[in-house]
């Protein structure tokens, strides 16, 4: 993925930021054994410019994310992966998840109030959990490249996002060190914080990037 457009932009030196939109750590995800600083060091070595922390149903406080960012030397932005009856939903743009929400429609209302964005995560991973067409309206976009899913699942995920307003995003879904930085999203904008990320997402000027091991 990437292709001539990426190469051309890199050559003329436009700001390009490679951000992993989907990461977990052992701090807030019980299914992860990944220490945050280890994950961030690996992300840097894989050529990433930033990561979004998307723990299961917990949002990292902004000041702790900033502290990590300073210690590690890479952009770190808090997001969240919310568990709903329609599957996992990646949410960007909220400060906390209180009260805890598991109903996708309620999550949409909450996100609208916060001006947050919702992307359906790994929509083709679980064959028993297919989101009905009408419910796809709840999402701004889908995760079209998940580092833990196979090519066919990712292809199917992208096809489900075809009618959504925003292009698909990519992330590693890393829970362990070897999974860090396998997939990401390349943005045209310079992204240093959550506000930058939100503006870049809304612009739609980004694309999926698979990263070679
Ligand atoms: Zn998930
Ligand atoms: Zn995840």
Q: Which domain holds residue 105?
A: 16-210
Confidence of residue 14 (pLDDT cuts 50, 70, 90): low
- Is 3 part of any domain? no
Which residue, 140, 200, 199, is CA-closest to 164? Answer: 140
Say which ligand is closest to the CA of 23. Answer: 2
**How far from 165 is each of 104, 119, 180, 189, 201, CA to CA, in Å?**
18, 11, 28, 19, 11
First to last CA, the chain: 14
* 8 domain-assigned: no
- What is the four-CA torsion angle of 19, 170, 65, 36, rounded to 10 degrees? -100
Would residue 7 count as lying in a domain? no
Q: Look at residue 5 and tell me if it is in a domain.
A: no
Neighbouring residues of the ion ligand 1, judged by CB less than 5 Å: 88, 121
Residue 9 inside a domain? The answer is no
Ligand with minimal distance to 125 CA: 1
CATH of the domain at 138: 3.20.20.140
Model pLDDT for residues 40-86, shown as the tens digit of each residue: 999 999 999 999 999 999 999 999 999 999 999 999 999 999 999 99
How many residues would you count in the chain? 213
Answer whether residue 95 is part of any domain.
yes
Domain count, the chain: 1
Q: Is 55 part of a structural domain of the chain?
A: yes
Task: Give helix 62-72 / helix 36-45 axis angle, nearest 10°.
Answer: 50
d(CA 170, CA 102): 23
- Higher local confidence (pLDDT), 15 or 42: 42
Distance in angstroms (rounded) separating the CA atoms of residues 182 and 43? 9
Say how many Å lie between the CA of residue 13 and the centre of ligand 1. 35
pLDDT at 129 (0 to 100): 77
Q: What confidence tens digit (pLDDT) does each residue in 153-196 have?
A: 999 999 999 999 999 999 999 999 999 999 999 999 999 999 99
The model carries a pTM of: 0.91
């Amino acid at each position: 993925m990437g292709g001539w457009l990426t190469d051309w932009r890199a050559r003329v030196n436009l700001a390009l930021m490679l951000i992993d939109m989907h990461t977990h750590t052992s701090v807030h995800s019980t299914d992860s054994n990944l220490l945050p600083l280890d994950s961030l060091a690996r992300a840097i070595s894989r050529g990433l410019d930033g990561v979004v922390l998307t723990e299961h149903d917990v949002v990292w406080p902004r000041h702790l994310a900033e502290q990590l960012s300073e210690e590690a030397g890479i952009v770190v932005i808090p997001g969240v992966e919310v568990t709903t009856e329609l599957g996992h939903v990646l949410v960007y743009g909220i400060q906390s998840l209180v009260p805890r929400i598991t109903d996708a429609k309620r999550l949409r209302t909450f996100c609208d109030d916060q001006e947050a964005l919702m992307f359906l995560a790994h929509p083709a991973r679980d064959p028993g959990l297919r989101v009905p067409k009408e419910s796809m309206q709840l999402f701004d976009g889908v995760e079209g490249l998940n580092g833990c899913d196979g090519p066919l699942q990712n292809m199917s995920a992208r096809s489900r996002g075809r009618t959504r307003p925003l292009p698909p995003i990519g992330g590693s879904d890393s829970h362990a060190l070897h999974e860090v930085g396998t997939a990401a999203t390349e943005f045209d904008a310079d992204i240093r914080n959550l506000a930058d990320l939100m503006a870049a997402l809304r612009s739609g000027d980004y694309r999926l990037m698979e990263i070679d091991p």
